[in-house]
């Protein structure tokens, strides 16, 4: 099953007898784009124009629990997540396509959660809303209730201890910007640096200038250069398990299964007993 779908293929699928359920997951990391500007409101963006039939999904409230010991975007309560998906029309046998404003991080978080909880057919619109050339609508749909019941997978999820072990025995990729990995700056979390043994692999480098993921062969070459040879377990973390989901998506396009440390640096750095490495060296 492909992890992504092009805008042209999505247009064709929407005209099929059983079109995919569309989820709009527009979201941004910061509360405001710049000082003095109002906080970003994904729902307002959605209501100003979205793909026909798409339902808005709130990342902070429906794809994550409240910030706490588990990080800034811990796993959502699965009963609440399932109810949100069913309200959006998600059923176990109906394909789902998720998209966001173009960055791909939020859409990837929704993709990962649905896949991890058992949905067999979920794809991310490559390039997000900017890639879509068809009409938009402002009408908020009322979809038929879906039947999807999340059932967490046995694999694919890391906690802090498993991430630390994977950094020693496999390949643990840090999807944040390089300066955050090196500990030169930390604008969000309490401590700067990275998990000892993790390899810097900014997820922004998986995307081309058109906002779409690089071709599979280019992604394969990039990850191979980072130590992903196909013979080891691979894990990914970021600040709070959102941009790392985008790297898991890129790895899937490259044909590499990877596990996600959802708590990520926001959880790791909250415990003063956990070790912290700084500089360009993984160690």
As given in the structure block, the two tokens for residue 46 are: 């959605």
As given in the structure block, the two tokens for residue 169 are: 């025995």
Catalytic residue among 84, 238, 251, 252: 238
Positive or negative, the CA dihedral 173, 71, 271, 239 is positive
Distant-in-sequence, close-in-space partners of 39: CB < 8 Å, separation ≥ 6:
31, 32
Helix (H) or strand (E) holding 108: helix 105-116
Told to judge if 220 belongs to the known catalytic residues of this protein, a careful annotator would answer: no
Say how far apart CA 122 and CA 65 lie, in whole Å.
22
> CA 246, 252, 257 angle in degrees (round to 5)?
110
Distant-in-sequence, close-in-space partners of 31: CB < 8 Å, separation ≥ 6:
39, 40
First and final C-alpha spacing in the chain: 36
For 223-249, give one letter per residue: b (16+ CB within 10 A) or e: beeeebeeeebbbbbbbbbbbbbbbbb
Per DSSP, the chain holds a count of helices (H) and strands (E) of 10, 10
φ, ψ of residue 58 to 5 degrees: the values are -90, 110
Active-site annotation, residues:
238
């Amino acid at each position: 099953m492909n992890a992504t779908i092009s805008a042209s293929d999505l247009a064709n699928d929407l005209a099929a007898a059983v079109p995919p359920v569309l989820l709009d997951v527009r979201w941004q990391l910061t509360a405001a784009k710049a000082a003095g500007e109002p906080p970003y409101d994904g729902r307002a963006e959605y209501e100003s124009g979205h793909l026909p039939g798409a339902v808005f999904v709130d990342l902070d409230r429906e794809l994550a629990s409240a910030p706490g010991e588990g990080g800034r975007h811990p796993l959502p309560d699965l009963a609440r997540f399932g109810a949100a998906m069913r309200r959006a029309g998600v059923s176990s046998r109906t394909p789902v396509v998720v998209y966001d404003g173009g960055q791909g991080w939020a859409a990837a978080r929704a993709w990962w959660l649905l896949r991890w909880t058992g949905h067999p057919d979920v794809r991310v619109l490559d390039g997000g809303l900017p890639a879509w050339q068809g009409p938009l609508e402002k009408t908020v749909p009322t979809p038929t209730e879906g039947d999807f019941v999340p059932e967490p997978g046995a694999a694919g999820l890391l906690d802090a201890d498993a991430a630390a072990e994977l950094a020693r025995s496999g390949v643990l990729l840090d999807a944040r910007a390089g300066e955050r990995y090196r500990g030169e700056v930390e604008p969000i979390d309490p401590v700067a640096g990275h998990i000892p043994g993790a390899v810097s692999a900014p997820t922004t480098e998986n995307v081309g200038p058109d906002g779409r993921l690089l071709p599979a062969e280019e992604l394969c070459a990039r990850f191979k250069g980072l130590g992903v040879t196909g013979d080891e377990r691979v894990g990914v973390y970021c600040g709070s398990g959102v941009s790392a989901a985008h790297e898991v998506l890129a790895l899937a396009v490259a044909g590499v299964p990877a596990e996600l440390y959802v708590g990520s640096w926001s959880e790791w750095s909250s415990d003063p007993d956990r070790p912290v490495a700084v500089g360009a060296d993984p160690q």
